Structure 1
């Protein structure tokens, strides 16, 4: 596309292109040239809308983090319905989808991006994880208020265990897929990595959640 041609909805198209590159090539492959090539536009288009590439990445992360708010609201609306473990299992599987999981290492590896996120939003330096933690914490607090988990449940500790464990479970799926495939095939470490690994099963996520919540659910006083 020539430099002078207008790109309709340029910001969103650039964000979508960056997301595709990130999912396909990982944080190391996410460059300004890769983004504009993916969006089929001139490199100057990105710099007309953003001061520099870190400014672009900051807006990308904040945009994708904001999308988690809809999923967080769905979790809050589930308070008092179904089971606590079931609600959290479904929420973690959604909140730790491919895009959020791919963005987390991007933030980790780029110091300038973390600094700009902190300037843009309190707690923004750990964007995505912060959104997930806030959603889980609020849900647990509401369920505790309803008496569906123990009144003395430590919400902060439960949240840390669920979010930290959930992130490890989903972020480590590439390695697990390769190991499982190698065991089944008898191949060594020279196999090509799976480009589209399966996420952890719902059973695996449920096991994590039920293990973390076992004590506070068991000690919940029965209503008369």
Structure 2
């Protein structure tokens, strides 16, 4: 007899269930049974839509990567309009990124050899999500450099991954409270200060 409930959008609902398990219990608790139980559906539903569990996890990671497109567009719009400050915009971007499921997804990628191997087929270098976040910040920093809010010699290819690494360390402890906004801004300011033109402050975005 069939078990579970019918899903209107199986992929999306399975992804949402996996994210809840990840946030609640971490990568080690993420199994196909845990996902389908969380989604309230039969285990066979997952395997009707994905070749195997690593295929499902790879699709989950790439779905999170795709969601960076909206955040990247907002950052570039801030650069185009001169909204906020470079420090404030970067601090907000890192907070938005790492207060979400991103830290747990990175832990998932690091902890599962099969998932990393699956992702390497199309993404041979870098850690997915972290590498994409670095690309997003590099594009934003380059736009700010072009508009004069970063110095002309600002090395955005170094600044971007440095910011992502620092942000990941700040948010990586799942057991502790998230860092305070002032703490995030302090770290960002320390990284980008040498690239800011004289007199460029780190006030809050408007």
Could you tell me the TM-score, scaled by structure 2's length?
0.89
| Corresponding residue for residue 117 of structure 2 | 115
Q: 1:120 to 1:102 in 2, by over 3 A?
A: same
Name the CA distance, whole Å, in 2 between partners of 1:16 and 1:4: 16
Partner SS, residue 151 of structure 1: coil
Report deviation, 1:207. Answer: 0.1
- Report if aligned partners of 1:7, 1:41 keep a CA contact under 8 Å in 2: yes
Report deviation, 1:119. Answer: 1.6
| Corresponding residue for residue 141 of structure 1 | 142
| Corresponding residue for residue 46 of structure 1 | 46
The 5-angstrom pairing of residues 79-118 of structure 1 reads 79=79, 80-118=82-120
Q: RMSD over aligned Cα, in angstroms?
A: 2.0
| Corresponding residue for residue 28 of structure 1 | 28
Q: Which has the higher contact order (CA 8 A, sep 6+)?
A: 2
* Residue ranges of structure 2 left out of the alignment (5+ in a row): 201-206
Displacement over 6 Å in runs of 4+: none
> What number of residue pairs does the alignment pair up?
198
Name the CA distance, whole Å, in 1 between partners of 2:197 and 2:105: 36
Q: Which has the larger radius of gyration?
A: 1
- Report if aligned partners of 1:96, 1:167 keep a CA contact under 8 Å in 2: yes
Could you tell me the TM-score, scaled by structure 1's length?
0.82
- Report if aligned partners of 2:5, 2:40 keep a CA contact under 8 Å in 1: no
